[in-house]
Each structure stands twice: as C-alpha cells, then as structure tokens.
Amino acid sequence: MMKPDVIRQFVAAFLLVLAFQSAWAIDLHSAKEQGLVGEANTGYLAPIGTPSAEVKALVAEVNAKRKAEFKRTAAKTGATVEQVQFRFYELAMQRTKPGHYYQDSGGNWKQK
C-alpha cells in the first residue's frame, strides 16, 4: 500500500540532496538558468533543444542519481517507481523557479 506522506517526505529529502550536491549543483543551476535543461514530466531532467556533450553528460549524471533514488524510495514505501517519479515531478514543478522550464502533462515545454 502506498503511503503518500512517506513518499512526499522521501522525495522532499531527495530534492534537498540534489540541491546541495556541490560537485554538480552549480552546473545544473547554470543549465537551468540558461534554458538548456528542464524538468520532464517523467520525473527526470531533460535537455531542451539540441544539447551539447556537456549538457548530455549532466543530464545522464542527474538522471542516474534520480533513478537510483526513485527505486530506493519505492522499495521503502511500497509505492511503484512510477508513482515516486510522478510525485517527484509534481514537487519539482512546484519548486521550478521563474524562467526555468518544465514539461506539462502533454509533453510541451513551458517556461515558468
């Protein structure tokens, strides 16, 4: 049985971990500020437009960490990975800063 409060807590903690990863947080922030990446409706980071090799590498690194955390959170809460991904997407959209991009449920990129 899925426990929404537990999922919400894990996803919120995960967002904080991502925000404070000093090895790549500045790069992620810069990529978002420049409109090179956005929050996809899958819970993952996605490039916008034609990405450079550097942006592709950043997206791959961030998404590998997210995937691992989605799996851990699902295992701890009894939710499906898809449920965790969707909740993460909802929270990421709420936290998206003005000027940054996110993907709506139809797959269209929007600037907040």
Q: What is the pLDDT of residue 14?
A: 67
pTM: 0.76
For residue 102, pLDDT beyond 60: yes
| DSSP one-letter string for 22-41 | TTTHHHHHHHHHTTSEEE-T
Closest by CA to 73, choosing from 43, 96, 95, is 43
Query: Residues 41-63: what's their mean pLDDT?
Result: 94
Q: What is the pLDDT of residues 13-43, one digit of tens each?
A: 666 665 555 444 447 889 999 999 999 999 9
Only one residue has tokens 């437009």, namely 49
- Provide the token pair at 11: 């996803």
Neighbours of 68 (CB within 10 A): 10
Per the DSSP assignment, residues forming a β-bridge with 110 are 102
For residue 1, pLDDT beyond 90: no
Query: Residues 74-91: what's their mean pLDDT?
Result: 95
Q: What is the pLDDT of residue 8?
A: 72
